Amino acid sequence: MAVAAENQSQPPQNDLPYVLILKPPSAFSIFGDHFFHSPKFQFLKPFESPLPLPQFLLTHAQSVQAILTSASGSVTADTIRLLPRLGLVVTTSQGINHIDLSECRRRGIAVAGAGTIFSTDCADFAVGLLLDILRKVSAANRYVKQGLWSSQGNYPLGNKLGGKQVGIVGLGSIGTEVAKRLEAFRCSISYNSRSKKPSVPYTFYPNVVELAVNCDALIICCALTDETHHLIGKKVLSALGKDGVIINIARGPIIDEKELVQCLIKREILGAGLDVFEHEPDVPVELLALDNVVMAPHNAVCTTESLEELRKTVVGNFEAFFSNEPLLTPVPLDDQPHLSG
Amino acid sequence: MESIGVLMACPMNSYLEQQLENRFKLFRFWTVPDKSSFLASHKDSIQAVVGNAFAGADAKLIEALPKLEIVASFSVGLDKIDLAKCKEKGIRVTNTPDVLTEDVADLAIGLMLAVLRKLCESDRFVRSGKWKRGQYVLTTKIKGFLFPFVHFVSVPFLTSTIFQLFQFTGKRVGIIGLGRIGMAIATRAEAFSCPISYYSRTEKPEIKYKYYPSVVELAANCDILVVACALTTETHHIINREVINALGPKGVLINIGRGPHVDEPELVSALVEHRLGGAGLDVFEHEPEVPEELFGLDNVVLLPHVGSGTVETRQAMADLVIGNLEAHFLKKPLLTPVV
């Protein structure tokens, strides 16, 4: 979206606190700039200014108490250090790997995210991708819409989902919703997580390779951290095997994308369903011609319903902050694994 | 049993074909140039017909085969078989229930997700390269400054095309026909917290889902309407203009039953005119012909009748057909008799 001349910032109202929009969220593109409007605060939009970002931040340093960002807008230590009055970072994503949490902890800056509002949409999408890959939904839809059913005959058979062993990497809020859904399809669920969860009925495997050996489909539902970066590499993909499927609705860098591409080209795994990629929006060009992959442009959570929930959550968090009330969806900074911001 | 003549109505599965060839004297009906004279010359040899969703045994074929004892269908649907004529003549009929229930139900959910979340369109968008070439919002690079390079960012595809994606969780699912497949769809949809309602010939008091006494009422009270009943003279065009209007511009129709369940021209015009929110269709009135007006619609997913189309299930179906035929000719109880 080019900077639209008509999208002028409102004239500053001196009594309203400022929220800096570091990275315009996708909701703005769909619903317009006023999607997160509130009478209790106003937005600073550096992307509408001719000033380069650092200059803009220096100019407004004393005014900025809060930041609104999204999954692809990194909040680094450098940015934070330019804003001495910063007290809150709100991200429109459920993931928080793009925020320097240790710097926030050091400075006493609160962080709030989407909480668990996207968990069901993510889980639904994971199931949708899994069904699509196994039953060739997108591929067969393409076939029919090209008129090939009448000219070339029946489409090749897919693979049954029922009875498959599904391995969930990261049994958090999203992973739990995925498990609940796939149980209804008569899948057996196993998982790998940072620690075993004693109250869940699923089989725990202490590492992802063992999980992959013992399942037909791997579903990536974990956060991106230093430990999970390239967690899925050659070893895991080999263990998954030529009848195995991998679904990623978490973060692109959790998978070694170059290895995955090779496995898909050589048919060393059955297929992949991917909503995320290492270098979005760049997608490896080799994938674009393959029929054993289903891809989406990181839009698993962009449903009308969830975006409305997000709107309430984002606005609610800022309003709470500026009224000295508890945040709606605070991210606890104490027990986070080491995250490179 | 090599002398028993089995007529296979159309190509359906190479494993089944091979098994039939190994055990019986197999006639492949689709390879015969003149079907009438073939039937005339082979009428005393053919004791079994193997049919499927596309071709079965109508009255004409049954009359032409005086030695016909059994029709074994490679499907659960029986709409291509003249059941009354079979009963009249004491001809046994078998189908393939249960083994395909899960796959068909799985596909129904797969279609719901694909339609609501525009999975196929998302995939098409990425393959087209448009996500990469999307318009850029913010680009900044500061030389000699310890400031991170802010990446080129493309606006998500939602702005390039006016897409609306809808949540599946919690949507009201209405099921026409609460048999094996309908129930399997219900239990899957419940895992997504979808409230379930249904229409059936009679209310089932032991079922906890909400019953509606007419399809129009069901359509008016659900977000996603699924056709999961058998095709009979009563259910022909059970999805008509009235039902489509009741389902409405935010409603989605899923058909994993039979093409003739739906008044197809009505459906097409409703979709083209945006009077219906979307559709996921595995079956059509005149397969493999599919209305071309649907090809360009991003809220419509079209599949080439693949409800039971997995390697595992088609093998199980084939084994059931063979098992039924062998049981019959060995005078043992049929595995899955209908008549």
pLDDT higher than 90, residue B226: yes
pLDDT of residue A147: 97
Residue B306 to residue A120, Cβ atoms within 8 A: no
Separation in Å, CA A13 to CA A17, B305, B319: 9, 61, 76
Decide which of A115 and B153 is more confident.
A115
- Whether the CB of A147 is below 8 Å from some CB of chain B: the reply is yes
The catalytic position among A257, A259, A278, A298 is A298
Interface of A with B in 163-202 (CB under 8 A): 180-181, 183-186
Is position B114 within any domain? yes
The architecture in CATH of the region A118-295 reads 3-Layer(aba) Sandwich (3.40)
pLDDT band at B241 (very low <50, low <70, confident <90, very high): very high
Q: Are residues B66 and B197 in the same domain?
A: no
Is position B283 within any domain? yes
pLDDT band at A9 (very low <50, low <70, confident <90, very high): low
Residue A124 to residue B169, Cβ atoms within 8 A: yes
Stretch B141-156: mean pLDDT: 33
Is position B238 within any domain? yes
> Long-range contacts made by residues B273-276, C-beta under 8 angstroms, separation at least 24?
B274/B249, B275/B244, B275/B245, B275/B248, B275/B249, B276/B244, B276/B247, B276/B248, B276/B249, B276/B251, B276/B252
Structural domains counted in chain B: 2
ipTM of the complex: 0.91
**In this predicted model, what pLDDT tens digit does every residue of B78-112 receive, in sequence order?**
999 999 999 999 999 999 999 999 999 999 999 99
Q: Which residues of B touch A124 (CB under 8 A)?
A: 113, 117, 167-169, 192
Residue A157 to residue B314, Cβ atoms within 8 A: yes
pLDDT above 90 covers a percentage of chain A that reads 84
Tell me which residue range forms the domain holding B24: 5-95+312-330
Using CB atoms, pick whichever of B137, B296, B304 lies closest to residue A154.
B304
- Work out the mean pLDDT of chain B and round it to a whole number: 91
In whole angstroms, give the CA distance from residue A163 to residue A187: 5
Residue B310 to residue A159, Cβ atoms within 8 A: yes
pLDDT of residue B50: 98
Look at A309-318, A328-337, B258-267, B283-292 and tell me which has the smallest mean pLDDT.
A328-337
pLDDT higher than 70, residue A41: yes
CATH of the domain at B169: 3.40.50.720
d(CA A1, nearest CA chain B) in Å: 6
* CATH classification (class only), A18-117+305-323: alpha beta
In whole angstroms, give the CA distance from residue A223 to residue B245: 44
**In this predicted model, what pLDDT tens digit does every residue of A272-301 receive, in sequence order?**
999 999 999 999 999 999 999 999 999 888
Using CB atoms, pick whichever of A47, A125, A281 lies closest to residue B131.
A281
Q: Are residues B110 and B194 in the same domain?
A: yes
In whole angstroms, give the CA distance from residue A21 to residue A43: 7
Whether A18-117+305-323 shares its CATH topology with A118-295 is answered yes
pLDDT of residue B315: 97
- Work out the mean pLDDT of chain A and round it to a whole number: 92
Stretch A125-151: mean pLDDT: 98
Is position B260 within any domain? yes
Using CB atoms, pick whichever of A29, A131, A140 lies closest to residue B109.
A131
pLDDT of residue A338: 52
DSSP secondary structure of B225-253: EEE-SPP-TTTTT-B-HHHHHHH-TT-EE
pLDDT of residue A337: 64
Cα–chain center distance at A142: 27
pLDDT band at A12 (very low <50, low <70, confident <90, very high): low
Give B248: exposed, middle or buried? Use CB within 10 Å, 0-12, 13-18, 19+. middle
Q: How many CB pairs under 8 A join A and B?
A: 222
Residue A155 to residue B306, Cβ atoms within 8 A: yes
What is the Cα Rg of chain A in Å? Answer: 22
Interface of B with A in 250-279 (CB under 8 A): none
